[in-house]
Structure 1
Amino acid sequence: MTADVDTAATAPGAGHRLAKIITEVLSPAVIVVLLPFAVAWNATGHALLATVVWALVVAVFYSVLPMVFMVRGARAGKWDGHWVRERERRFVPLLMCLVSALVGLAILLLGHSPQDVIALAFSMITVLLACMLITRWWKVSIHATVAGGSVATVTLIYGWVMLVLVPLVALVAWSRVVVRDHTVGQVVVGALLGPVVGGVVFVLLR
């Protein structure tokens, strides 16, 4: 494999089809909708309404709105697909993700969201900034970054039992390599970047 893979896979087979499904089902867009509910549920003391309110703020501004922007950009031909496979075209979508996330963070701060939810928001913004910096020269896997960081976050909150989710990170990494959107090195770095950068920020701010 080359150091920077920017083309979609065309290889047939059941493994490739499964990898494409995993790429969508365990995508950053899906995980970043689910993760804030897990964090807010614990942070609010299992208060259902508060959990839903704060989790939805994170989900909308950190996942839904950025995804809408990327899908619309793909349909307009600005980049090659909603995951923006071409590294050189990733900066603008990532920048829009950052703007949306900062708006969401402002809402959390003004609304006096629980500290763990704010810590999650800051950790995701920090990881996004790291990805933006790296992507200027290299195509790190954001799928693997988000998956790894999310497992680290729920482990910090709910304990070591959450490490049972680690195989899902490996599955995401495998899928990104099989569909040829990333190399092994790119998914390994991503899987470590999320826990190391995001995890440290989360621990420091919670």
Structure 2
Amino acid sequence: MQKDAYTLILEAIEGGTYRPGDRLVESELAERLGVSRTPVREALQRLETQSMLTRDGRSLIVASLDHNQLAELYVVRAELEGLAARLAAKHATEEEIRVLKDMIDEDRAHLGDPEALSRANRRFHKQIHLASHNRYLVQQLGLVHRSMALLATTSLAAEGRGEAALAEHEAIVNAIANGEEAAAQSALRAHISKAFETRLKLDAASHRRESEG
């Protein structure tokens, strides 16, 4: 199935082709995607409505999240992801659990490559969402993860965070595999909390470098 302009632009933002602050020009996008300007215009309007893009004068740029928005996003993410893990512990099939375990083994190959690890991390979390077997929760988590694309860097870029994140993933999957609903929920919420803490430290270090520069 051919992807529409909206999906292609959204994937480009999620994949880091367009980062927060980047200007999106209708004519350039149409040429790049090989489509007419009308579907691109409609896609940009839709993304603006969803707060993925924001106005800068007459131009549209990829939105960025301030500190308060970031904190709010992580609060919602921790609650919804925790619920997904709890439901996965109850409803996940043996096949889904095997897939999660295989993902962790495969993701070890990406240690040292934060961008690849970030993509693998998104796939892992999406698999837990699906294992919850709750379509409404999957839908809401899709919105949350779309907003996560507005973060310019990944917390997995922090020293040692990749190894720690995989260990946390392992604890989450073990709880799901054992049907331990409360433990799965707690492990995933702790994982999100640690990711948020790491991101705050990265941001603080970045601001310190800027002020010193």
Q: TM-score, normalised to structure 1's length?
A: 0.27
Q: TM-score, normalised to structure 2's length?
A: 0.26
Compare CA radii of gyration and give the structure with the larger one: 2
More strand by share: 2
